[in-house]
């Protein structure tokens, strides 16, 4: 028998048996219907209508109208052959005040969605928090306030109580780096605050909320599969100078280890705590918190998009100011670090460098430096300026190449012994790309925002083929018979 991932005589590189192929979305990016069925505003509703926050003043009020079109969207997933669908629950829809009683109409929407998925043989993969904090909780202090962590655990238990009989895979948080540092340090995301010390407290309370939610779900179902999704980057220094190595250590610390170490090792990394000393004294950490945060996970979700290549700030009078003279950046304590673009490296429409080997590097590193556990790529994908042909088709070959390269990178990691169990493309649909509004398209399915007509792009058809073969074609081997 061929080893999974090894080139085969048929010209295929095969994924291991049981490897899950899916696509991902998030509630605020697709649902719309923001004032229907008892839903109340989240921080993204507030932020998006605040002038100057989002390109074009776009909001998720309508988005892709998935709330009304979920049946058609599930039918599309079924036609593409997706094994699993990763989506998030809107907290404001199911618990409008962020505390207190559940909203039956909100829960019912997700029950119907889950049933539709199950009827179509698609595994539901639920994310409980994809950035849309109920506004009343932000008004009470948001994630910098400790109480938000307890509220999150209550909400998690409430959703699990209703969907736990049909959902197996639970993800507490999506990308706590973004919810904390983009939300509270540079304010690029909701709630738009620029308070680095509060951002560091938000990191902790998000992680604490994750731990408490994991325990609350396991209290209701001891065998529940619960994980967390973090966004990780490959990080490299722009040169071999010691100062650039220091820049890379700092950015790796803030983007990767500040989350992985508490979650998987039960401690904050000493060097990162030292880097943050001018920002936070960590007095928000209480005895027992790190034990809660490091409650064993069933799996770790990794979102991977790109690599950071970084350089130290230019010294002024021989002194390197890591704080960048008070610059507002999502890198507390290291605001002065410069992010460098490499010559000749292709970028996506987000201006993110395309670096598939960085995905292999990231997976191998997590598996080597942390206790071994099942890993999933819960997001990976690319925005491009898609063109619609005369016949309405979208021939998005750059996106096909992106997915192809990154799926091969997954196979390379598997060949190196990484227990990678699945891959979710970001995203099923073109959607509301946060501060970029509708100006960046990540979908494998094109959405016409005027008519809400969905058209699978070439990348969707290509991905569907990969799923059907459970393999990508091996360029070294013969082209497989179709
Ligand atoms: C990730 C987010 C997701 C989407 C992609 C492009 O950081 O989790 O919602 O915006 O980036």
pLDDT digits (tens, 9 = 90+) for 402-442: 999 999 999 999 999 999 999 999 999 999 999 999 999 99
Residue 482 pLDDT exceeds 50? no
Average pLDDT over residues 288-294: 99
- Give yes or no for a contact between 261 and 267, defined as CB atoms under 8 angstroms apart: yes
DSSP-based three-state secondary structure for 460: helix
The per-residue pLDDT for range 169-217, each reduced to its tens digit, is 999 999 999 999 999 999 999 999 999 999 999 999 999 999 999 999 9
| 381 CA closest ligand 1 atom index | 6
The residue contributing the CA closest to ligand 1 atom 10 is 433
Q: Which of 353, 361, 379, 433 is catalytic?
A: 379
Q: Note the pLDDT of residue 474.
A: 72
Q: Note the pLDDT of residue 480.
A: 43
Q: Note the pLDDT of residue 9.
A: 60
Q: Note the pLDDT of residue 11.
A: 77
- Give yes or no for a contact between 128 and 155, defined as CB atoms under 8 angstroms apart: yes
Confidence of residue 10 (pLDDT cuts 50, 70, 90): low
Say which range, 3-17, 108-122, 226-240, 396-410, has the weakest mean pLDDT.
3-17
| 29 CA closest ligand 1 atom index | 9
DSSP-based three-state secondary structure for 306: strand
Nearest Cα residue to 305 out of 207, 177, 188, 437: 177
Which of 175, 233, 304, 436 most suits a substitution to test ligand 1, by most atoms within 8 Å of the C-beta?
Answer: 175
For 228, how many CA atoms within 13 A lie in the half-sphere containing its CB? 27
Q: Note the pLDDT of residue 7.
A: 54
Strands (E), 198-323: 225-237, 299-311
Within 10 Å of residue 468's Cβ, how many Cβ atoms? 11
Residue 452 pLDDT exceeds 90? yes
Nearest Cα residue to 28 out of 45, 47, 3, 50: 45
Choose between 477 and 146: higher pLDDT: 146
Residue 479 pLDDT exceeds 80? no
Which of 23, 379, 430 most suits a substitution to test ligand 1, by most atoms within 8 Å of the C-beta?
Answer: 379
| 442 CA closest ligand 1 atom index | 6
| 178 CA closest ligand 1 atom index | 7
The CA-based angle 469-74-297, given to 5 degrees, is 75
Residue 400 pLDDT exceeds 60? yes
Ligand 1 centre distance from Cα of residue 177 (Å): 11
Cα(446)–Cα(199) distance, rounded to whole angstroms?
35
Cα(193)–Cα(198) distance, rounded to whole angstroms?
9
Active site residue 335: no
Average pLDDT over residues 446-474: 97
Average pLDDT over residues 343-355: 98
Ligand 1 centre distance from Cα of residue 356 (Å): 17
Average pLDDT over residues 231-239: 98
Nearest Cα residue to 376 out of 385, 384, 366: 366
Structure tokens at 252: 């790796």
Residue with structure tokens 């959405």? 447
Dihedral angle over CA of 431, 433, 434, 438, nearest 10: -70
Put simply, whether the predicted model's pTM sits higher than 0.95 gets the answer: yes
Name every protein residue with a CB atom under 6 angstroms from any ligand 1 atom. Answer: 26, 29, 174-175, 178, 231, 303, 379, 426, 433-434, 442
- Give yes or no for a contact between 128 and 172, defined as CB atoms under 8 angstroms apart: yes
Active site residue 175: yes
Q: Note the pLDDT of residue 5.
A: 52
Confidence of residue 3 (pLDDT cuts 50, 70, 90): low
Ligand 1 centre distance from Cα of residue 118 (Å): 25
Ligand 1 centre distance from Cα of residue 255 (Å): 15
- Give yes or no for a contact between 199 and 253, defined as CB atoms under 8 angstroms apart: no
Strands (E), 265-370: 299-311, 338-339
Confidence of residue 225 (pLDDT cuts 50, 70, 90): very high
Q: Strands 338-339, 299-311: parallel, antiparallel or unpaired by DSSP?
A: antiparallel
Q: Which of 31, 138, 175, 433 is catalytic?
A: 175
Question: What is the rounded average pLDDT for all residues in the chain?
Answer: 96
DSSP-based three-state secondary structure for 321: coil
CA 128, chain centre distance (Å): 12
Q: Note the pLDDT of residue 181.
A: 98
Q: Note the pLDDT of residue 389.
A: 94
Cα(432)–Cα(130) distance, rounded to whole angstroms?
13
Cα(56)–Cα(58) distance, rounded to whole angstroms?
5
478 CB-near residues (< 8 Å, 6+ apart) = 9, 10, 11
């Amino acid at each position: 028998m061929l080893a999974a991932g090894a080139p085969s005589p048929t010209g295929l590189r095969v994924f291991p048996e049981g490897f899950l192929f899916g696509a991902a979305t998030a509630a605020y990016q697709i649902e719309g219907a923001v004032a229907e069925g008892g839903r109340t505003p989240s921080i993204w509703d507030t932020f998006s209508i605040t002038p100057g926050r989002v390109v074009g003043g776009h909001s998720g009020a309508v988005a892709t109208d998935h709330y009304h079109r979920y049946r058609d969207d599930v039918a599309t997933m079924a036609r593409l052959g997706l094994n699993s669908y990763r989506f998030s629950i809107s907290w404001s829809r199911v618990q409008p005040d962020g505390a207190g009683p559940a909203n039956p109409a909100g829960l019912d929407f997700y029950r119907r969605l889950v049933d539709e998925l199950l009827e179509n043989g698609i595994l539901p993969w639920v994310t409980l928090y994809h950035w849309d904090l109920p506004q009343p909780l932000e008004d009470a202090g948001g994630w910098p306030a400790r109480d938000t962590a307890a509220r999150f655990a209550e909400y998690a238990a409430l959703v699990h109580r209703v969907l736990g009989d049909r959902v197996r895979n639970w993800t507490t948080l999506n990308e706590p780096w973004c919810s904390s540092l983009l939300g509270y340090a540079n304010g690029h995301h909701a709630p738009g605050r620029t308070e680095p010390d509060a951002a560091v407290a938000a990191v902790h309370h998000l992680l604490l909320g994750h731990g408490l939610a994991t325990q609350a779900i396991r209290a209701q179902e001891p065998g529940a599969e619960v994980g967390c999704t973090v966004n990780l980057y490959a990080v490299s220094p722009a040169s071999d100078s010691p100062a650039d190595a220091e820049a890379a250590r700092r950015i790796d610390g803030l983007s990767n280890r500040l989350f992985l170490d508490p979650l998987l090792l039960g401690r904050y990394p000493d060097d990162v705590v030292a880097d943050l000393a001018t920002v936070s004294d960590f007095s928000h950490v209480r005895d027992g918190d790190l034990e809660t945060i490091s409650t064993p996970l069933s799996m770790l979700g990794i979102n991977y998009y790109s690599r950071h290549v970084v350089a130290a700030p230019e010294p002024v009078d021989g002194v390197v100011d890591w704080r960048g003279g008070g610059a507002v950046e999502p890198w507390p304590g290291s605001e002065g670090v410069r992010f460098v673009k490499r010559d000749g490296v292709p970028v996506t429409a987000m201006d993110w460098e395309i670096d598939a080997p960085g995905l292999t590097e990231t997976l191998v590193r997590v598996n080597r430096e942390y206790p071994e556990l099942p890993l999933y790529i819960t997001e990976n994908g690319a925005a491009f300026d898609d063109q619609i042909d005369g016949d309405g088709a979208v021939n998005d070959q750059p996106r096909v190449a992106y997915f192809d390269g990154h799926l091969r990178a997954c196979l390379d990691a598997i060949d190196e012994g990484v227990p990678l169990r699945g891959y979710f493309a970001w995203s099923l649909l073109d959607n509301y790309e946060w501060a970029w509004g509708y100006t960046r398209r990540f979908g494998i399915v094109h959405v016409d925002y005027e008519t809400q007509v969905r058209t699978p792009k070439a990348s969707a058809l290509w991905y569907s083929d990969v799923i059907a073969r459970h393999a990508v074609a091996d360029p070294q081997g013969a082209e497989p018979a179709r």
